[in-house]
Amino acid sequence: MRIPYTGPLPPPIVVPRDANTPAGAISALTRFLSAPRSPRLPPSSSSNGRTVLLTGAGISVASGLADYRGTAGTYTLNRTYRPIYYNEFISNHEARKRYWARSFLGWTNLHKAKPNAAHWAVRDLGERGLISDVITQNVDSFHLLAHPRLPTLELHGYLRSLVCIHCGNRLPREDFQHSLSSLNPKWADFLAELLETRALDSENPDERRAKGLKSNPDGDVEVPGASYTTFRYPACPTCQTNPPTLPDGSQSNVQTDDDGAWSPKSTAGVLKPAVVMFGESIAANVKVAAENAIDQASRILVIGSSLATYSAWRLVKRAKERGMPIGVLNLGGIRGEEGFFADVSAENDGTMAVRCSQTADTILPSIVQRLELLGPVVAPVHDPARQDCHA
């Protein structure tokens, strides 16, 4: 995954003009989601008549998670932040210590967070047959929890599991958290103190700084001045039992200390979060699945994303090039939005394009309520030959 776009974002365009209020946005998005197939789509297109959703961090803000580039977003308020790179993670033992120590503190908030009204509204829209697929940049798994029957592609992976970079074994993140706690009793005591004093309850960066903490964009928690050098993390249990063969044909070895912590003398057994890190490639099958979801839909609606990551922006660009109507529900500007809406007719009422700067958790449930007044639920079309791709 490429480093995200960091340039200034344009002010949000409002399309149509009356979508500048919650009521106007609800009306325009209702028309957008209910619209017939666009005449701009190629005649040979096999579009399904439904909408594909592309969601970002903004949809999860109401669940208590931080967004990235909003007015209080962690990238906005912490411009010096540098995320860990894939090559750094897989090659540097000290970098992994730092990553896992911060993740150990930050996991608690994510683990206890739940889907919000926007996620449940997506479920309801799917049950009405209006949504064909959800492509999410988020790694919080809220979409799968809220609507397991609606095809959902996790473009950048997920935090609920770990994957071994040597054998491919996967391990639940919750089990890994227990192992981290056992290997690092002082850190476990510190986390217990943070939980007891409710220091982690706020995602507001100013409030966390006042308590000696610092939030980072990937959900971890930094303690300024803390030493991470003594932090320990476990080895992959599968590699320990059955050491894999290395790419050069040699046999790997996995060594641990007496408590089971991974030793730098090892040549395998390194676990990483099952997310796509910066500098790491998105799996080819995930790219293809995302492109297919775009190509099979009749329109695209972006929710809670500034499209700063190229992997998301290129999907909207692909939709635009196919002649698909584009909708955006996001607070603040998005990357390249002037190009996405440059050719929208002044007569457009939301059928062909929508751009509104509102919060998803207030707008989407109201759209569901509006649609309930318009007619009965439409059964979603199910293609038994199609498989979801949760990567």
Active site residue 119: no
**Catalytic, out of 143, 147, 156, 166:** 156
Residue count of the chain: 391
The gap between the terminal CA atoms of the chain, to the nearest Å, is 14
Cα 47–chain centre separation? 26
φ/ψ of residue 6, rounded to 5: -115, 5
The whole-angstrom separation of Cα 364 and Cα 103 is 31
Cβ 35 vs Cβ 351: under 8 Å: yes
**Cα–Cα distances in angstroms (integers) from residue 172 to residues 73, 266, 272, 371, 378, in the given order:** 28, 22, 11, 39, 36
Burial track 43-70 (b if 16+ CB lie within 10 A, e otherwise): eebebbebbbbbbbbbbbbbbebbbbbb
d(CA 96, CA 36): 51
**How remote is the C-alpha of 383 from its chain's centroid?**
26
3-state per-residue secondary structure call for 268-311: CCCEEEEECCECCCCCHHHHHHHHHHHHHCCEEEEECCCCCCHH
Which residues have C-beta within 8 Å of that of residue 160, sequence separation ≥ 6? 141, 172, 173, 274
> Alpha carbon of 127 to those of 142, 179, 296, 337, 372: distances in Å?
17, 40, 18, 30, 12
Torsion of CA 143, 15, 321, 275, to 10 degrees: -30
- Virtual CA dihedral for 16, 20, 24, 26, nearest 10 degrees? 100
The Cα–Cα gap between 247 and 148 comes to 37
Cite the active site residues. Answer: 156
